[in-house]
Amino acid sequence: MKLEVTHLSRAFGSHKALDGLSLAIENAHSLVLVGPSGGGKSTLLRILAGLETPDSGTVAINDVPLLFDEPQLLQHRRRIGVVFQAFNLFPHLSALENITLPLTAVHGHTRSEAQDIAMEQLRRFQLEAKAAQKPAALSGGQRQRIAIARALAVQPQMLLLDEPTSALDPSMTAEVLETIALLRDQGRDFVLATHEMSFARRVADRIALVSNGRVAELSEPGPFFDTPISPVTREFLAKVV
């Protein structure tokens, strides 16, 4: 993917969640966002998802500008898959129905097409035995893997993942991280915000340190972790690694 974000700003009241954030990547499948809580990662992801509108600045994905008017945003949201920290699934629907719903309701598939696509996704993630289960009967890790399967079922242009493991205990984190690693191996395009540094290093083609609503550093994971340039990055890594 190619992603160009320029001078993106978004304030909530007097607080600038994004303060002229810019970044540009090209020829990369995965961008990983790290940085202190409150730095602006989720706000950036929500804007990329078309769920939030910036006060100023521009976004272009694969050279296509993202236009922040409602009809365009509606189109954009259909092309993007989103997985949040938790509560991604509809609690009253089975795993299978969670995946088929967007396919029939938003993407115009027939019921039987949607079921075929959903079962294929469940098989791909070795979750077919869970097809009839409601989210409450699944582990947290299984729920997040179903959420990822659902996001992929609509063949999104890119996947946005906002701390998908931070609500999970460590035993369940691993299975979700393996699922994300699989996406990387498949050459899927995704932007991931995470606090899992060793995982970030493993799956990132590019890694960005987001702090105070800006990108303090953007590079490949080797240099990012081994020879960080920005004092902001150094301070952050000293705390978390």
Interface residues with ligand ADP (CB under 6 A) are 12, 15, 17, 35, 37-43
The interface partner of residue 39, options being Mg ion, ligand ADP, none and the CB cut-off 5 to 8 Å by kind, is: ligand ADP
The interface partner of residue 50, options being Mg ion, ligand ADP, none and the CB cut-off 5 to 8 Å by kind, is: none
The interface partner of residue 194, options being Mg ion, ligand ADP, none and the CB cut-off 5 to 8 Å by kind, is: none
Between residues 38 and 65, which has the closer beta carbon with respect to Mg ion? 38
Between residues 71 and 239, which has the closer beta carbon with respect to Mg ion? 239
Question: Are the beta carbons of 68 and 132 closer than 8 angstroms?
Answer: no
Between residues 94 and 211, which has the closer beta carbon with respect to ligand ADP? 211
DSSP secondary-structure letter at 43?
A: H
Min CB(34)–ligand ADP separation in Å = 9
The interface partner of residue 198, options being ligand ADP, Mg ion, none and the CB cut-off 5 to 8 Å by kind, is: none
> Which strands form 80-83's sheet, in the order they lie side by side?
80-83, 158-162, 190-193, 30-34, 206-211, 214-219
Token code pair at residue 217: 């550093």
What are the Cα distances from residue 191, in Å, to 49, 53, 102, 135, 171?
A: 10, 18, 21, 25, 24
Residues that bind Mg ion (CB under 5 A): 41-42
Question: Are the beta carbons of 34 and 45 closer than 8 angstroms?
Answer: no
